[in-house]
Amino acid sequence: MEFTTTLQKFDSPLWGFHIMVPDAAAAPFLEEKEKRVVCTLNGSEEFQCALMPRGDGSYFININKKLREKLKLKPGSTVTASIRKDESEYGLPMPEELAELLTQDEEGNRLFHALTPGKQRNLLYIVGTPKTSETRIKRAVVCVEHLKANGGKIDFRRLNQDMKEANRSWQ
């Protein structure tokens, strides 16, 4: 489903830049209760995301700084977007470093897969964001150890502290 829209900025500290998704484009996904989509902007940049409810019956897609800079988008820029159902298992790429760790750590694998899909995506994002494999490995280890130490629950404040402590000890 392709549509043309403009980049907008929310007047909120919680949400930043986004594009509105026309009702006709969002409806087929919402009817099937599928909010996870793959979005392509201006025919070149593809990314996994969610159709986010605005609260008034309309939906939007968040556009991060990296994408805005790569496509040179500013508020009011016209954007051609297309969306399709995200057929991936997790809704984000599984970093190979985390995948390898989960194959070796049975308890970590069980705890990771017991998380809700949204919490799984949180950890995939945390582990997958760094550019170097070394940092992704460190983050994967910290995340899995955090799950094991907390009975499969994520305490994001504690996880952040665990990451900082690990960074200090690995330097």
End-of-domain residue from the set 85, 117, 136: 85
Domain with 148, as residue range(s), is 96-170
Instruction: Examine the domain organization and report whether 114 and 67 are in the same domain.
Output: no
**Among residues 30, 53, 85, which one ends one of the domains?**
85
Query: Are both 103 and 161 inside the same structural domain?
Result: yes
Q: Enumerate residue ranges in the chain where pLDDT < 70.
A: 171
Clarify whether residues 128 and 107 are in a common domain.
yes
71 and 124 together in one domain = no
Whether residue 73 sits in one domain with residue 39: yes
Residue 154 within a domain = yes
Cα torsion 92, 94, 97, 101 to 10°: value is 120
Domain assignment present for 62: yes
pTM attached to this predicted model: 0.79
Q: Are residues 25 and 48 in the same domain?
A: yes
Note the Cα 127 to chain centre separation in Å: 11
Total of domains in the chain: 2
Evaluate whether residue 90 is within a structural domain. Answer: no
CATH code of 30's domain? 2.40.30.100
pLDDT for the residue 130? 93
CA distance 20 to 12: 16
Question: Which of 28, 49, 27 has its CA nearest to residue 38?
Answer: 49
Alpha-carbon distances of 72 from 66, 79, 94, 99, 121, rounded to whole Å: 10, 11, 28, 34, 27
What is the three-class DSSP state of 61?
strand
Largest distance between two CA atoms of the chain: 52
Chain center to CA of 124: 8
* Burial class (CB within 10 angstroms; exposed 0-12, middle 13-18, buried 19+) of 139: buried
pLDDT at 171: 66
Residue 28 confidence (pLDDT): 94
pLDDT at 168 (0 to 100): 87
Residues 45 and 79 in one domain: yes
